[in-house]
Structure 1
Amino acid sequence: EQALEIADRLILSGALDVVVIDSVAALVPKGELEGEMGDSKMGLQARLMSQALRKLTATISKT
């Protein structure tokens, strides 16, 4: 989640022309990191990516 927030801030700053996220599978939701090994976290990553892409798309449209 932190990586996506950093990407959002970098896009807003205008410091970069292109942002590439090389490994979506490596982007782990905070809830998954903080939870226990056996906890069911079905759909967390899909939900994270869906929200992040909507937010980043809105940010990009502002720049």
Structure 2
Amino acid sequence: MASPQDTQAQGRLKSVDNAITQIQRQFGKGSIMRLGSNEHQNIPVIPTGILSIDLALGVGGFPRGRVTEIYGPESSGKT
């Protein structure tokens, strides 16, 4: 017999799964994902020509069709 905590946890997981399904239906696949899911998408990028920035961006450059913001303190090399 499942304890009340297990039943409650299963209900929460089901609610989260339903919310994720709704968001993906409305905004498309890849709009939301779970931390640790190893699903990679091949997306077109614009390489910067600076290897360290391309690696930091995680996909080899600025992803096309997406907004990318670079921020930091003054005099930190953003330009």
TM-score, normalisation: structure 2:
0.25
Which of structures 1 and 2 has the larger relative contact order (alpha carbons within 8 angstroms, sep 6+)? 1
Q: Specify which structure has the higher proportion of strand.
A: 2
Instruction: Tell which structure's C-alpha radius of gyration is larger.
Output: 2
TM-score, normalisation: structure 1:
0.30
Q: Specify which structure has the higher proportion of helix.
A: 1
